[in-house]
Structure 1
Amino acid sequence: MRAMILAVLFCVSAALSHAAGIRFVQVPADANGPALKAIVWTPCAAPAQDIPIGPYMLKGRRDCPATVETLPLIVISHGHGGAFLGHHDLAEVLADSGYVVAAINHPGDTFSDMSRAADISEFVERPTDIKRLIDFMLSEAPEMPRINPELIGFFGFSRGGYTGLVLAGANPDFLHADIPCPDLNLPICKQLQRKEIPNQPLTHDPRIKAYVLADPLNEFPSSHDLNDVKAPIQLWASQYGGDGVLPETISSLANMLPKRPEYHLVPGAAHFAFLAPCSATLRKNAPELCTDENGFDRVAFHQAFDDNALQFFRSNLH
């Protein structure tokens, strides 16, 4: 296994001779929601630099113009209380390899704004947030003329994985899903007790042609909930789960999807192993997100994980 990981490390490092261009943008507020803070990565011909952003250390170049005429688009949805930089290593690899990548902070469920994170309404709003991001990238973003609207992919982690499944056509069954509710005083737990579930249609987006999902929160207890999911999926599961994600629900999801996903179980990994390897500052400030148990090597894993995601998008966005 270690020899395989080292081989992947060599191939990836040999291929990434350029930087990812990095630019911060804002998706304007509209009738469907508030303004969205976003970050966009693009291919860039200049050498990479270290870019400290808060507790994160990015690799790329600020405001470097894209170097390719026609580009696929990948959109990223973070997990509960996460951030648009939580998977920056994957975004950098994809941008270095010829993709435009865009990630947002989900309003109400991000590190700086948890105002709706414990409310069931957030599960309705998240897919709409991503649709609005795609709309913006295809109509108003400076990268718009370079993006091929027929080649759009998605990466989501945890609640972001749930978001991807809804966008792909799934319809959640909140009342029967196997999701722990450890604090019955949380608004979402009270809402479920009172059977106050959303009754409006959730946002699906057929423009997205391929999905990479890591430890998705599985709100889909029946195969009937997944009948309309047709796009190819690469599905990743940690051995131990965490943050409300039970490991057995991911294998169950793999078995119930209409089209068998490309399934990867990561031995020795807990839920947060899918977050980018932490900087020294982030390890100090948020050890619960950065500490992997039992000798799990997050850096080595992410080299293989990012390359697998890249190869999946290459195979399914063409």
Structure 2
Amino acid sequence: MNLAYWRRAFMVLIGVVSCANAWAGSVGFQELTTLDERGAPIKLAIWYPSSSHADTVSLGWTTQEVAMNGALSEGRHPLIVISHGTGGTYFSHHDTATTLARAGFIAAAVMHPGDNAQDQSRRFFILERPGHIRRALDYLLQDWPGHAQVDAGRIGIFGFSAGGFTALVNIGGQPDMERIIPFCKEHSDHFACQLIAQESIAGRAAHAPMTEQLQTWDDRIKAAVIAAPALGFTFAHRLQRVTIPVQLWRAEDDWILPHPWYAEEVRRALPQAPKYHLVSHAGHFDFLAPCTPVMAQRLPDICSSATGFDRPAFHRAFNEEVVAFFQRTLEVEGR
């Protein structure tokens, strides 16, 4: 056997060892609470690299392999904060959070007060959401028991739907909320416009001013993944302040936020071209974690995908792309 053969064999062996190291350890998990600016509780779900033993645990309607309140692995870890969509929960993207944790990130998902599966009393106060993210970051960097191991120079954000809107404001977007009512007069069939039509409070919320805009723009965030952003049309010509890298995702068959008024408007408005992904045959809710059988039975509208679209397979590729993007843009070495 020649030298080239042994060189190839050695490289394969190195690759096997590297992969083993990349997935060493387990994923720790905690549920904690901090407060928003009104004193309302903000619940957080936090996944992180752990040196503790993991067990199969029932969390909400999911089953996850995690070390409950396990020890945080040694070293400093980059942080990704996650913002769910309207009516979602901090488990909406648990598979993405777990994948991030296995890659060495701390992934902290926010349960937005008044805009979640249990409480939708403030779902039209969408401009409160960026403040929730800011308060969560304050807590994670200052008061969370593991705060000393958070790499404050490597923070990213992941946002889906209303969470995408939230993330865009947090990274410098200035949405024109006055555009909503005129837009809905022309597009009354759109999901957001149907919600507005159902609620007497909607007109007031839709015209809410951009209060404390400088406070919601958070320059601690260095990279963003945005999936199917809600109210994308409000950001037309209003993303000039966004200078960080953005990965932008659009579902081809998104009838909740139909093309071209949402993700496309964001893509056009960003001053630097985002890393753009168009997912063929995907629907809006395909960005949510694949559903358990119980969820599929109780929430068919959210859990159903188009015939032939494999949500679990998509999520394996999606999560890899998200992790790779944050590793690259936050200059994080692969584990």
TM norm structure 2:
0.84
Give the CA deviation at 1:196.
3.6
Aligned twin of 1:24: 31
Are 2:119 and 1:113 aligned? yes
Deviation at 1:165, TM superposition (A): 0.3
- Structure 2 distance, partners of 1:314, 1:32, is 35
CA distance in 2 between counterparts of 1:78 and 1:291 reads 18
Q: Does the 8 Å contact 2:36/2:42 carry over to 1? A: no
> What is the CA–CA distance in structure 1 between the aligned matches of 2:177 and 2:258, rounded to whole Å?
15
Structure 1 Cα separation of the partners of residues 322 and 109 of structure 2? 16
**Separation in structure 2 between the aligned mates of residue 256 and residue 157 of structure 1, nearest angstrom:** 18
SS at match of 1:187: coil
The sequence identity of aligned pairs, in percent, is 36
Measured on the aligned residues, the alpha-carbon RMSD in Å equals 2.1
CA distance in structure 1 between the partners assigned to 2:145 and 2:235 by the alignment: 42
For the residue of structure 2 that corresponds to 1:208, the secondary structure is coil
Structure 1 equivalent of residue 187 of structure 2: none
| 1:222/1:168 CA distance change after superposition, 3 Å | closer
Which residue does the alignment assign to 1:315?
328
Q: 1:55 aligns with which of 50, 57, 61?
A: 61
Shift of 1:219: 4.0
- Cα distance in 2 for partners of 1:281, 1:59 equals 18
Q: 1:204 aligns with which of 214, 217, 221?
A: 217
Q: Which amino acid aligns with 1:37?
A: K
2:161 to 158, 162, 178: 158
**Cα offset, 1:197, TM superposition:** 2.8
Q: Which runs of 5+ in 1 are unaligned?
A: 1-9
Contact conserved, 1:173 with 1:219, CA < 8 A, in 2?
A: no
1:175 paired with 2:181, answer: no
Q: Is the 8 A contact 1:171 1:220 kept in 2?
A: no
Q: Distance in 1 between matches of 2:287 and 2:36?
A: 32
User: Residues 262, 30 of structure 1: CA spacing in aligned structure 2 closer, same or farther, 3 A cutoff?
Assistant: closer
Task: Supply the distance in 1 between the matched residues of 2:92 and 2:60 (Cα, whole angstroms).
Answer: 12
Partner of 1:291: 304
Q: Is the 8 A contact 1:213 1:235 kept in 2?
A: yes
Rounded Cα–Cα distance in structure 1 between residues aligned with 2:79 and 2:217: 17
- Partner Cα separation in structure 2 for residue 306 and residue 185 of structure 1: 35
CA shift digits 1:127-175 (9 cap, x unpaired): 0000000000000001101011111000010000000000010111122
Report 1:75-154 matches (<5 A).
Answer: 75-117=81-123, 119=124, 122-154=125-157
1:302 Cα shift? 0.3
Q: Distance in 2 between matches of 1:238 and 1:19?
A: 32
Deviations 1:214-242 (A, max 9, x none): 10113444543111111110000001224
Decide whether the 8 Å contact of 1:44 with 1:64 is kept in 2: yes
- Gap regions ≥5 residues in structure 2: 1-15, 185-189
Return the alpha-carbon distance in structure 2 between the equivalents of residues 165 and 222 of structure 1. 9
Work out the number of aligned pairs and report it: 301
